[in-house]
C-alpha cells in the first residue's frame, strides 16, 4: 500500500491566466510568487507553492501528494503496476516546473491526474497574503468520481487513505489525523471539484462572506458548518467554474483504533448542520 505524507499542490489549466491571477490575488487572497513560462505560482503557507494556474484546457487538473522518500516513489510504481494502473516518471523539465526532485504521475480510475512527489521545495519566507483573508494554508481537495464505490476501494486499498465519514456514498478520506484531505463526489467526468484553504476563525469566514458579496462573487454554499468534520465553511466560485472553500475548525482524528466512520444522508442536512443549502451540482442528489 502507498503511504501518502501530505497533499502538496494543485495545478489547473485555464484559457485566461491573467484573469485567474487577478482572482487569486485580489479575491482569494493568495501570494503570487513567480511567473514561469505560461504558468503563475501562488503560496498559501510555508510551502513553495500550493496552487498553479497555467495556460491550457480548463479541464486539465493535477493534484500532488508528497511521499517520504525516493524509495517510496519506486515502491508506489510497483504497487500501482500490480493494481493494473499505468504510472510514469516525470521528466527533468516537468520536475523543474513543479520544484520537486522527482515525481510519478498516473490517472486514478475516474481519470483524475495524481502526482506523487519527492523533495518539494519549501520557502524560508513567511506567507504574505495579497489580502487579509485569514488563510493559514491549503488543506484538502474534492475530487470528481464517476464511480464512488470503485474509487473508494482504490484510494483506501491502494493509496492508503482511510474513510472518516460518508455522505451518501461519497467518502471523506484522511491520510493523517485531519478529518479529510480528499473528498470524492459523484460526477460524470474527472477533475478537481473544489479546493479548500483553512482560515483562522469564523470571523475570517464571515468577513469574506461580506467581502465576496461586495465583489460580486457567486457564493455557492454557506456560511455553514459540516456535521462530518465540524468545520465552519464558505464555498464560492472561481475561474472557469472552479469551487473554492474557506473553512475553520476541522476535526482531528488522533485515535485510529476507536474511530468508526459515520453515515450521513446525501441531502442538505448531511452537508450542513446550520441549515445552509448547497448550490453545487455535486452536492445535490
pLDDT at position 124: 84
Rounded to 5 degrees, φ, ψ at 137 are 160, 160
Encode the chain (285 residues) as per-residue pLDDT tens digits.
Answer: 999 999 999 999 999 999 999 999 999 999 999 999 999 999 999 999 999 999 999 999 999 999 999 999 999 999 999 999 999 999 999 999 999 999 999 999 999 999 999 999 999 888 999 899 999 999 999 999 999 999 999 999 999 999 999 999 999 999 999 999 999 999 999 999 999 999 999 999 999 999 999 999 999 999 999 999 999 999 999 999 999 999 999 999 999 889 999 999 999 999 999 999 999 999 997
pLDDT at position 8: 98
CB 236 within 8 Å of CB 212: yes
What's the predicted TM-score (pTM) here?
0.97
88: closest CA among 61, 57, 113? 113
The one-character DSSP state at 266 is S
CA pseudo-torsion sign 215, 220, 225, 226: negative
Q: Indicate the pairing of strand 170-174 with strand 113-118.
A: unpaired
pLDDT at position 111: 98
CA distance 22 to 178: 31
Q: Partners of 143 in the beta sheet? A: 184, 192
Instruction: Output the CA–CA distances (angstroms, integers) from residue 240 to 35, 105, 144, 149, 259, in the order listed.
Output: 20, 24, 16, 28, 38
Q: Which domains does the chain have, with CATH numbers?
A: 6-118 (3.10.180.10), 135-283 (3.10.180.10)
CA distance 6 to 122: 14
Q: What is the DSSP string of 58-121?
A: TT-EEEEEE-S-HHHHHHHHHHHHHTT--EEEPPHHHHHHHT-SEEEEEE-TT--EEEEEESPP
Instruction: Output the CA–CA distances (angstroms, integers) from residue 244 to 23, 221, 271, in the order listed.
Output: 11, 10, 16
- Helices (H), ranges, the chain: 17-22, 70-82, 92-98, 148-153, 202-214, 268-271
Amino acid at each position: 500500500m502507498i503511504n501518502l505524507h501530505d497533499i502538496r499542490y494543485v495545478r489547473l489549466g485555464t484559457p485566461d491566466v491573467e484573469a485567474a491571477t487577478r482572482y487569486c490575488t485580489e479575491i482569494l487572497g493568495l501570494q503570487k510568487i513567480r511567473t514561469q513560462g505560461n504558468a503563475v505560482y501562488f503560496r498559501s503557507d510555508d510551502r513553495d507553492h500550493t496552487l498553479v494556474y497555467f495556460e491550457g484546457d480548463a479541464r486539465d487538473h493535477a493534484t500532488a501528494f508528497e511521499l517520504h522518500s525516493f524509495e517510496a516513489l519506486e515502491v508506489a510504481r510497483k504497487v500501482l503496476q500490480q493494481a493494473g494502473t499505468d504510472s510514469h516518471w516525470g521528466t527533468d523539465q516537468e520536475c523543474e516546473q513543479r520544484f520537486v526532485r522527482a515525481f510519478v504521475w498516473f490517472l486514478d480510475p475516474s481519470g483524475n491526474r495524481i502526482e506523487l512527489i519527492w523533495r518539494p521545495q519549501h520557502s524560508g519566507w513567511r506567507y504574505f497574503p495579497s489580502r487579509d483573508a485569514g488563510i493559514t494554508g491549503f488543506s484538502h481537495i474534492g475530487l470528481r468520481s464517476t464511480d464512488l464505490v470503485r474509487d473508494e476501494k482504490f484510494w483506501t486499498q491502494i493509496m492508503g487513505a482511510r474513510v472518516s465519514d460518508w455522505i451518501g456514498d461519497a467518502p471523506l478520506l484522511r491520510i493523517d489525523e485531519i478529518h479529510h484531505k480528499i473528498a470524492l463526489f459523484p460526477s460524470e467526468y474527472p477533475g478537481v471539484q473544489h479546493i479548500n484553504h483553512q482560515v483562522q476563525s469564523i470571523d475570517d469566514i464571515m468577513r469574506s462572506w461580506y467581502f465576496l458579496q461586495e465583489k460580486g462573487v457567486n457564493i455557492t454554499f454557506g456560511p455553514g458548518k459540516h456535521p462530518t468534520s465540524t468545520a465552519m465553511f464558505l464555498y464560492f466560485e472561481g475561474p472557469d467554474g472552479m469551487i473554492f472553500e474557506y473553512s475553520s475548525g476541522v476535526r482531528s482524528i488522533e485515535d485510529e483504533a476507536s474511530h468508526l466512520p459515520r453515515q450521513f444522508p446525501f441531502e442538505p442536512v448531511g452537508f450542513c448542520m446550520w441549515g445552509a443549502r448547497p448550490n453545487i451540482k455535486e452536492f445535490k442528489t
